[in-house]
Structures are given as structure tokens and as C-alpha cells.
Amino acid sequence: MGPIDWPRQTPERMVRTSLHDPESLRELIGSVLPDLVNGFDFAAMTPLPLSFFGDDWREREADLLFQLPYLSDGGAISTLVCLLMEHQTNTDRLMPLRTYIVSGAFWDRCWRAWRQTASPRPSLLVPPVIPIVLYTGSAPWGSTRSLRELIAGPEQLKQWAPDWEPELWSLADRSVDSLLQGGGWMQFMAVIRVEDAAVAEFERVFTEAVRHLAARRQTDHVRWFELLSIVFGYALFRRKAPQHQRLQEIVQTAAPDRVEEVNRMSMTIAESMIADGKLKGIRQALRDVLDERFGELPEVLKHKIEATTDQERLREAHKQSWKIKTLDELQL
């Protein structure tokens, strides 16, 4: 996972950041595909940039792509894990279509690369794609699950629709206690599960999660610190300020020999929350001007504004927004 760049974090990005850790990704895939998880070589996991598929996908910060070898009797075969994340209760009904398009784009790249190899070429076999939707909304998933549901027309015309249904991992379908019995990444999911709960319940779950993580700090200090940073940071972002001192005390109690580290962590997170508040204000000001001048903004531009964390770039774009004649002139 590497060092946490707190000024660039938001609660949604914390989830995304956590899954760049091979152990965390293993936990998720193990929960989705328990019969296959032991065949994957997570140590050889390679994240792919979303620009791999072009500009439209680069703007979707809530998506992750990983190349992950699968080991079998026939040797290692590269697979693509296409991980789409949805955090809001208003779920994206186009999830099956989006994962299908990513898969097609990936296979198209493989096909073009094969055509460029020297003859004689072996027969083309494209790598498997594993589509997973990670849904952390508080309500059960109530939207489309398969591509067939998005195909128009009577049922008899759907027989040619691909049998395509991404794997769905829904946080709302899992109890808090079952999450607390899982590994380190599941402790993070347990805290998200109760993010809107009453103070007493949130503190109970947060305390259990922190204690679970603390049990491994002697054997794997780096992973303990990274996971604790994300769990603690998420809690501070989601809970109101009067509760923050108590959350810090819980962390200090679980790691009494790491009080200085915990204090520095708390200060860094607090500074990033201030920076995040400023970013939100600048983004909103930019959107307000663009909305007023050009009407409803394209989704790609909305995602680009949300993805930009450089305050100076946003301020400069805000200055431009009063002068440009078309959205294509905006430099961001």
C-alpha cells in the first residue's frame, strides 16, 4: 500500500487505496471466490492505470484494474481483475455494462498485440477477466445485476445477450460481527458498516477493529500502521468532531507503546481534513460557474473536477471558467 498521502484522501479513496495492498485484495477475492483464491499469486499483482483503456476510464477514480497471475497445473495464466466500487445507496444500474465494456477493451488490446507479433503466430487465447463490484452502501443492492437486464425488447430477443453478471460483494449483506471476525481489511469494512450508527455502537466496533489490528503490530508493523491509518482516518472523516478525542484515546489504549506515532497520525489526518474542506469549496465554486454558463456538465468533466487535488490547478480553472467560450477550452 505504501505511505498514506492524506491530503489526497477522501473516505471513498481510502477504500480504493486499501485494495492496492495484496493482502487486502486477497481478503476481498477470498470472500467473493473462496474456491479459487488460493490459486492466485498476489505477490505478483500488478495494478493497471485506468488510462490503459482511454480517457473516459481514466476519469473513473472509483474503478481499479489488476493483472493477477493464476497458478494451475498448466502453469501461470494472467487474469484481469476488474474491480468497480460503488459507495452510494443510489446504485449504478449500468455496472454490468461497464464491466463488460472494460473486458471487451482489454481483450481488444490483447487481439491487437497478437496481430502485431511475427508469424507464425500461436492461436489467440485471451486472458480471463474477473468482474467484481464492491458495494459499500448502507442499503441492500437494489439495481441491475446482469447485462440481460439492460437489453431492450421482449424476452425472446434477449437470447443473444451475453450471459454476463459481475460478482457482487455487498457490505449491507454482511453482519458487523462477521466482519470483525475476518482479517485486517475486514476490520476496515466493519467500521464502514457502522459509520452512521449511534455513538456507543460505533465506538464498540471501532474498538474491536483497532484491537484486532493491534494484535499484528509486532509481527508486521508496516501493515498494522497502514491499516490503522486508514481505519482511524475514515472514522475521523465520518464521525463528528466531539467524538474525535475519544477515538484517539481508543487507538492509544490499543497501542500504548506507539502513542507518538498515533499522535502524529491524528495531526496529519486533521490537517488533511482541513485541506479537503478547502478543495471541496474550490471544486464547488468551479462547478457553479460552469453550470451557470454551460448548463449540465458532462460526466467526464464532473469526474475530472472531483479527481483533481491540486488547489492551484482548480483555482486557475476557476479563473478560466469566466472567460472560456466552450468547455473544450478549459484546461484542468
The model carries a pTM of 0.76
Report the greatest alpha carbon distance in the chain: 69
Q: Is the dihedral of CA 273, 237, 264, 5 positive or negative?
A: negative
Pairwise CA distance, residues 182 & 19, whole Å: 16
What average pLDDT does this structure show over 177-202?
95
Instruction: Write the pLDDT tens digit of every residue in 140-172.
Output: 898 899 999 999 988 888 888 898 999 999 999
DSSP secondary-structure letter at 86? E
Q: Which residue has the higher pLDDT, 130 or 276?
A: 130
**How much is the pLDDT for 10?**
65
Indicate the helix (H) or strand (E) that contains 68.
strand 63-72
Percent of the chain with pLDDT over 90: 39
Q: Which residue has the higher pLDDT, 156 or 13?
A: 156
Q: Which residue has the higher pLDDT, 5 or 123?
A: 123
ω into 127 cis (within 30 of 0): no
Q: Where are the beta strands (DSSP E) in 88-166?
A: 129-135
Count of Cβ atoms closer than 10 Å to residue 125 Cβ: 9
Q: Name the 3-class secondary structure at 256.
A: helix
User: Quick check: 131 pLDDT over 90?
Assistant: yes
Grid look-up 481489511 returns 185
What average pLDDT does this structure show over 258-280?
64
226 confidence band (pLDDT: 50, 70, 90): confident
